[in-house]
Structure 1
Amino acid sequence: MKKFKIGYRTVKTAVGAAFAIAIAHYFDLQYFSSAAILTILCIQTTKKKSVHAVYTRLIASFIGMAFAYLALETFGYNPLVLGCMILIFIPTIVSLNVAAGFVSSSVIIMHIYGEANFTLDLFLNEMALMAIGFGTALAVNMYMGDFQKELDRYLCEIEDLYSSIFSEIVKYLRNGDTSWDGKEIIEAANILNKAKSLAFKDVENHLTRKQNEYYLYFDMREKQLEIIERVLPKITTLPVMVQQTNLVADFMEELAENVHPGNTAKRFRNKLEIVKEEFAKMPLPENHEKFLAMASLYQFIEEMDQYLMIKQSYKGIKKKSRKKAITQS
């Protein structure tokens, strides 16, 4: 059984429905309770979705009224005419990409069918119901929760996990420790999925914003995670430990201590070049196993260069809530 929870969207739905029905009743509109239905149908998870919901339902309702007037007034108010009208009405709103407004428009159409007489007063009544229902939905949906604290938390969790992963690599390289179960990889993937979804919702809550800095950040981290997953087998399957292992371990240890929102990618890429130079100075492998180990280590540092390159190309996040602007790289 799921935990009982009242979210802010539920609260907005309840408040919006109550206000819509109260306003419609105050103006003594026919079918005043329908204003609440129209409001409920437009409550969405983001501002952009709310605006789009109102748009589709408004257009569909206008088309529905036009179809109802032409069909029912011309051929009579009977179930067969209504069914034939809906048979044409649905493909019409689908072709206009406003099919989501079918239920809302059906409410209006049923009012007209129930009255069996399309008058100016009925038309104005339905217009008022739509104005109150859709307007109330827009008003309550203009309030959306602030996701920044949660996004910051995801950011910190990801960086901690990456640091842990690199530390486990160092343990293996220094001590041959194979006790790590790799759970941080799975945790990081799960957090990135949640974080990107939340960052996308944040974009949808800003009507003029086309992208989110957090989304770009988590997308960058996701690309890095793909590299981490790809290079782990190159390290964890070394046939023997060679002299170059300590070089890589030293580099990864320093990298593990510096997984943070600082612009350090260029510096670490320079350090990686020094590691490559040291590789070249070391004696050639004595046997096939050492050759394979050296090759795997070299492939690993090449992949880590790609990891850092992805980070270096990232523009960054500027957070007003922090004392200093943070540049992700």
Structure 2
Amino acid sequence: MARFTIGYRTVKTALGAAVSIFLAQLLQLDFFVSAGIITILCISITKRDSLKISGERIVACLIGLLYATLIFELLGYHAVSIAILFLLFIPSAVSVGAKKGIVTSAVLILHVYTVGEASAALWINELALLGIGIGVALIMNLYMPNAERDLLWDQVKVEDCFRTIWKEYAKYLKEGDSSWDGKEITTASTLLSDGKSKALRNIDNHYLRYDDYFYHYFAMREKQFDVLESILPFISTFGDTVIQGEKMAEFMEELSEAVSPGNTAGYFLIRLDELREEIKEMPLPQTREEFEVRSGLFYILHELEEYLTIKKMFKPDPKRTHNVSGKRLTRDLNKKGSKK
């Protein structure tokens, strides 16, 4: 059974519907309850989405009222006219990209049918209901909770997962320790998916600025995560020959300490070239097993280069870049939260 909760969107919807009905009733509009219905339909999860939906409803309602006036006045006010009206109206609304306004328009169309006369006064009444319903919804949607704090938390958690993954890879290469349960891989995957979704909503919650930093950040980490996953099967096959990967383990340990939004890829790409040369200078494999391990190491080198290149192409935001550990940033966020 789902937990009973009242979120901010529920509060906005309830308050907005009440305000719309109150205003419509205050202006003595017919069918004043419909203003509340329109508000409920127009309140959305993001500001831009709400504005887009409101535009579609306005266009669809104007088309619907026009069809209602023409068809009812020409064919009469009966059920056949309604069928013909919707047969023409729905494809028309879809063709102009206003399909989300069909339900709202249906309410206004049926008002015309109920009154039995498409007069100028009725048009004014319906447009007033539409204006109040949409206007209140847009005002209510001006408030959206700031998602940056949540996104920053997700960023910290993702980086902590990446640090742990690199450290566990290095530990296995050095010691052959296979006690790690790999939960950070599952956690990172979930965080990255949720982070991208939150980042997209955050973009759509700004009218005047386009802030896509977090979306690009999580997209970048998602690509790097694919590399982390592709490396795992090769590391897990090294078995007792992990001594040959000791230098790579040291590199991974160093890499784990540098996971941050800042761009340190240039330095590590140079270190990676040095590591590749060191491995090339090692004695040639003498057995099939040694050959397989060496080829696995070179595959990992290739994937590491891809991992670092992805990061190098990412442009960090100086205002959001930290060069401290995830634990320290977590403490800072906790302090900030306690002040609030």
TM-score, normalization by structure 1: 0.95
SS at match of 2:42: coil
Q: How does 1:1-329 map to 2 (within 5 A)?
A: 1-210=1-210, 212-241=212-241, 243-319=243-319
Q: Which residue in the other structure is 1:327 paired with? A: none
User: Is the CA contact 1:213–1:317 (under 8 Å) kept in the aligned structure 2?
Assistant: yes
User: Is the CA contact 1:165–1:184 (under 8 Å) kept in the aligned structure 2?
Assistant: yes
> Which whole-Å CA distance do the structure 2 matches of 1:210 and 1:103 have between them?
31
Question: CA 1:322 to 1:302, structure 2 compared with 1: closer, same or farther past 3 Å?
Answer: closer
| Amino acid corresponding to residue 62 of structure 1 in structure 2 | L
| Amino acid corresponding to residue 280 of structure 2 in structure 1 | A
Q: Kindly provide the CA deviation profile for residues 27-86 of structure 1, in whole angstroms up to 9, marking residues without a partner as x.
A: 111111111011111010001110111111111100011000000011111111111111
Q: Which residue in the other structure is 2:327 paired with? A: none
> Which whole-Å CA distance do the structure 1 matches of 2:179 and 2:286 have between them?
29
Cα root mean square deviation, aligned: 1.7
> Which whole-Å CA distance do the structure 1 matches of 2:50 and 2:321 have between them?
27
> Which whole-Å CA distance do the structure 2 matches of 1:322 and 1:252 have between them?
20
SS at match of 1:29: coil
> Which whole-Å CA distance do the structure 2 matches of 1:54 and 1:318 have between them?
36
Question: CA 1:323 to 1:61, structure 2 compared with 1: closer, same or farther past 3 Å?
Answer: farther
SS at match of 1:180: coil
| Amino acid corresponding to residue 194 of structure 1 in structure 2 | D
Report the CA distance between 1:199 and its aligned residue: 0.2
SS at match of 1:41: helix
SS at match of 1:16: helix
SS at match of 1:144: coil
| Amino acid corresponding to residue 110 of structure 1 in structure 2 | L
Q: Kindly provide the CA deviation profile for residues 219-241 of structure 1, in whole angstroms up to 9, marking residues without a partner as x.
A: 00000011111111111101542
SS at match of 2:43: coil
| Amino acid corresponding to residue 229 of structure 1 in structure 2 | E
Report the CA distance between 1:273 and its aligned residue: 1.1
> Which whole-Å CA distance do the structure 2 matches of 1:131 and 1:293 have between them?
70
| Amino acid corresponding to residue 296 of structure 2 in structure 1 | S
SS at match of 2:65: helix
User: Is the CA contact 1:200–1:215 (under 8 Å) kept in the aligned structure 2?
Assistant: yes
Question: CA 1:320 to 1:21, structure 2 compared with 1: closer, same or farther past 3 Å?
Answer: farther
Runs of 4+ aligned residues of structure 1 deviating over 2 Å after TM superposition are: 207-211, 317-324
| Amino acid corresponding to residue 65 of structure 2 in structure 1 | M
| Amino acid corresponding to residue 52 of structure 2 in structure 1 | H
SS at match of 1:194: helix
> Which whole-Å CA distance do the structure 2 matches of 1:131 and 1:242 have between them?
71
Question: Kindly, what percent of the aligned residue pairs are identical?
Answer: 42
> For structure 1, which runs of at least 5 residues remain unmatched after alignment?
325-329
User: Is the CA contact 1:242–1:294 (under 8 Å) kept in the aligned structure 2?
Assistant: no
SS at match of 1:241: helix
SS at match of 1:302: helix
| Amino acid corresponding to residue 124 of structure 1 in structure 2 | I
Question: CA 1:317 to 1:155, structure 2 compared with 1: closer, same or farther past 3 Å?
Answer: same
SS at match of 2:267: helix
> Which whole-Å CA distance do the structure 2 matches of 1:301 and 1:80 have between them?
72
User: Is the CA contact 1:199–1:215 (under 8 Å) kept in the aligned structure 2?
Assistant: yes
The alignment covers a number of residue pairs equal to 324
> Which whole-Å CA distance do the structure 2 matches of 1:317 and 1:222 have between them?
18
SS at match of 1:64: helix
Q: Kindly provide the CA deviation profile for residues 152-182 of structure 1, in whole angstroms up to 9, marking residues without a partner as x.
A: 0000000000001011111111111112222
Q: Which residue in the other structure is 2:329 paired with? A: none
| Stretch of structure 1 that moved more, 8-17 or 278-287 | 278-287
Question: CA 1:272 to 1:320, structure 2 compared with 1: closer, same or farther past 3 Å?
Answer: closer
> Which whole-Å CA distance do the structure 1 matches of 2:55 and 2:273 have between them?
56
User: Is the CA contact 1:239–1:293 (under 8 Å) kept in the aligned structure 2?
Assistant: no
User: Is the CA contact 1:240–1:290 (under 8 Å) kept in the aligned structure 2?
Assistant: no
> Which whole-Å CA distance do the structure 2 matches of 1:200 and 1:262 have between them?
22
Q: Kindly provide the CA deviation profile for residues 268-299 of structure 1, in whole angstroms up to 9, marking residues without a partner as x.
A: 11111111121122222222211211111121
> Which whole-Å CA distance do the structure 1 matches of 2:66 and 2:75 have between them?
14
| Amino acid corresponding to residue 170 of structure 2 in structure 1 | V
Q: Kindly provide the CA deviation profile for residues 280-327 of structure 1, in whole angstroms up to 9, marking residues without a partner as x.
A: 222222222112111111211121011001001101134379899xxx
> Which whole-Å CA distance do the structure 1 matches of 2:82 and 2:287 have between them?
85
